[in-house]
C-alpha cells in the first residue's frame, strides 16, 4: 500500500497522468513527522496519546521553552528520526504566530533534514 502525497491544510496532489500522487522515501518521512506534530492528542481512537497538538496552540500565548520541549519530545518518538545527534528546534515569533524550524538526522538515510513551518493565529 502506498501513502498519498499530502501536507496538512492542502489538497491531495496528482501526478502528471492525473492519478493521486504517492509519496516515498525521505519526503514520506517528513510528512509523517509533520502529521505527528499537527495531530491533536485524542484524535486517533486507537492511539489517544499520539500527536503534539500544535494546531491547538493557535491563539495561546507562546511559551517558547514549552513548545520546544513538546516538539522535541514528539520528534524523539518517531522511528525515522535518528537519536544522535539530537534534533534541534528553533522557534521565532512572527506576526500572528510562530515560525518553527527543526533540524534532524533521518534515521533511514543518515542525511541531515530540515522542517520549516509556521503556526499562525
Q: Global pTM?
A: 0.85
pLDDT digits over 28-86, tens only?
A: 999 999 999 999 999 999 999 999 999 888 888 889 999 999 999 999 999 999 999 99
Secondary structure (H, E, C), 95-116: CCEEEEEEEEEECCCCCEEEEE
pLDDT digits over 83-115, tens only?
A: 999 999 999 999 888 999 999 999 999 999 999
Q: Which three cell numbers stand for residue 69?
A: 520541549
Backbone angles phi, psi at 27, to 5 degrees: -65, -40
| Coil/strand/helix, residue 67 | helix
**Nearest-CA neighbor of 27 among 46, 5, 42?**
5
CB contact at 8 A, 74 and 51: yes
**CA-to-CA distance for 4 and 45, rounded, in angstroms?**
21
**CA-to-CA distance for 20 and 90, rounded, in angstroms?**
34
Of the listed ranges 1-10, 15-24, 70-79, the least confidently predicted one is 1-10
The top-level CATH class assigned to 3-120 is alpha beta
Confidence of residue 5 (pLDDT cuts 50, 70, 90): confident
Query: Looking at the DSSP assignment, which residues form a beta bridge with residue 16?
Result: none
Amino acid at each position: 500500500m502506498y501513502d498519498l502525497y499530502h501536507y496538512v491544510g492542502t489538497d491531495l496532489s496528482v501526478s502528471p497522468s492525473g492519478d493521486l500522487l504517492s509519496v516515498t522515501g525521505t519526503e514520506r518521512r517528513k510528512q509523517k513527522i509533520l502529521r505527528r506534530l499537527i495531530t491533536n492528542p485524542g484524535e486517533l481512537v486507537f492511539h489517544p496519546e499520539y500527536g503534539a497538538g500544535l494546531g491547538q496552540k493557535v491563539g495561546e500565548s507562546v511559551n517558547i521553552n514549552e513548545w520546544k520541549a513538546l516538539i522535541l519530545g514528539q520528534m524523539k518518538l518517531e522511528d525515522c528520526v535518528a537519536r544522535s545527534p539530537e534534533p534541534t528546534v528553533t522557534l521565532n515569533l512572527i506576526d500572528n504566530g510562530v515560525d518553527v524550524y527543526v533540524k534532524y538526522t533521518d534515521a533511514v538515510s543518515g542525511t541531515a533534514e530540515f522542517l520549516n513551518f509556521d503556526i499562525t493565529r
